[in-house]
Amino acid sequence: MNKFTLEYAQQLDAQDPIAHMRDEFYIPKQDNGEDEIYLCGNSLGLQPKKTSEYLNYELSQWQKLGVKGHFSGDYPWMPYHEFLADESAKLVGAKPSEVVCMNSLTANLHFMMVSFYQPSAKRHKILIEDHAFPSDHYAVESQVKFHGYDPKESMLLVKPRDGEDTIRTSDLLKIIEEQGDEIALIMLPGVQYYTGEVFDMQAITQAGHAKGCKVGFDLAHAAGNLVMSLHDWQVDFAAWCSYKYLNSGPGSVAGCFVHEKHHDNKDLPRFAGWWGHDKETRFEMENTFIPMQSTEAWQLSNPPILSLAAIRASLDTVKMAGGIETLRKKSIKLSAYLREILMQELSSQISIITPESEEQSGAQLSIIVNTGDGKIIFDEIEAKGVTCDFRHPNVIRVAPVPLYNSYTDAYQFVSILKEALV
């Protein structure tokens, strides 16, 4: 049977147990009034319909109660971040006490490095990818310099082999095995933003720990996308933003994980603030910092409640869909369908650099256009209602998001790309 037909795609949608979740989101419209084919949820996730309700509730609490809103209402602001802990923990496979929503992603990476990057003359390197997301590169470079080391010596940059697009796990493990004694910190993504490659976080963590390295992950493209077990994997720390697969709105507050084995380590350096102080005595306003016995200890400030309300709305939609495991199940099928019809129709004109196996890919395909100018093709498909993104020099990234994308979206995307490549 030919799977590249509208009927076939519609049939898959009809069989999709969570197809109705699309109605929980606002889908941007094209000029002709039809839904955009929105495949950009890896950059900015769409707005859940609940978001404005949850935000408006907090605005009205503020209107009616002023400062008393900190302690009154269904969701008092004082403990507001606690309302997010259970569902955030499920997303990354952690205990609720190991996660907290605070700050922004890059800020959290810095705060984590303050605690987990303790270079010494013998062990001063940070292992990251050569083609890391720029913010991560800058953060690592500036931390190295801050400690008085030379980024040229202390940044160990891993890249794919010549002629390959993604990094082999075996190569990573070999570097860790050979140079681990000099590596203070391994900081890698859960999902590589450009190629969509999923890293084997468990194997990397194990290899790093065997050599005495700390291991942290940037989960910007993994949170809300993959099923993870940070606690069981013994990962030291992780941080993620909430506006990509977590649909909490532009610049919304980020997430952070610190393994509980570090919670009562008094030797760990930390940049502290009052929101990290033991909540029982926080308002006694004493000068002695007594940290919370949880990842909350890394909090600095009282958090932006409106942003946390948006995160609560987003976490509720994930829960309503049946949780991350259910999303991942659909995601695997949806991505496989998209890949299959892309290769069936366009294999002579494109290649997909995202690894094909289930273990090594999530809800993103990175497509290289081999014929013509990638940017011109990209502009053409955008004009026809597709929203996805283009990364220089020639990669089109598309993210079929299980919460709101349909098999019909996948079909339409391939039809439009096919027309543009004629």
Ligand X SMILES: *Cc1c(COP(=O)(O)O)cnc(C)c1O
Q: Residue 82: CB partners within 8 Å, gap ≥ 6?
A: none
Q: How far is the CB of 241 from ligand X (least distance, A)?
A: 4
Residue 208 beta carbon to ligand X: minimum distance, rounded to whole angstroms: 19
Q: What SS3 class is residue 223?
A: coil
Q: How far is the CB of 96 from ligand X (least distance, A)?
A: 23
Nearest CA-CA partner of 103 in 95, 114, 90: 114
Give contact residues for ligand X (rule: CB under 6 A). 104-106, 133, 135-136, 189, 193, 218, 220-221, 241
Please give the Cα distance from 264 to 243 (Å, whole number): 31
Q: Report helix, strand or coil for 128.
A: strand
- Least separation in angstroms between CB 40 and ligand X: 12
Angle between helices 169-179 and 201-210 (to 10 degrees): 10
CB of 355 to ligand X, least distance (A): 18
Give whichever of 240 and 378 is closer to ligand X, judged by the CB atom: 240
User: How far, in whole angstroms, is CA 49 from its chain's centroid?
Assistant: 21
Give, in order, the Cα–Cα distances in Å from 332 to each of 152, 191, 336, 366. 40, 15, 6, 15
In the bound complex, what is the minimum distance in angstroms from residue 132's beta carbon to ligand X? 7
Q: Is 33 left (phi over 0), alpha (psi -120 to 50) or beta?
A: left
Phi-psi region of 110 (alpha: psi -120 to 50; beta: other; left: phi over 0): alpha
Nearer to ligand X (CB atom), residue 75 or residue 199: 199
- Comparing CB distances to ligand X, the nearer of 9 and 363 is 363
Closest CB to ligand X among 129 and 165? 129
Closest approach of ligand X to the CB of residue 104, in Å: 4
Alpha-carbon span 256 to 105, nearest angstrom: 8
Of residues 133 and 275, the one with the C-beta less far from ligand X: 133
Q: How many Å apart are CA 43 and CA 31, to the nearest integer?
A: 22
Residue 164 CA to residue 159 CA, distance in Å, equals 9
Which CB sits closer to ligand X, 193 or 257? 193
For residues 146 and 289, which CB has a smaller minimum distance to ligand X in the complex? 146
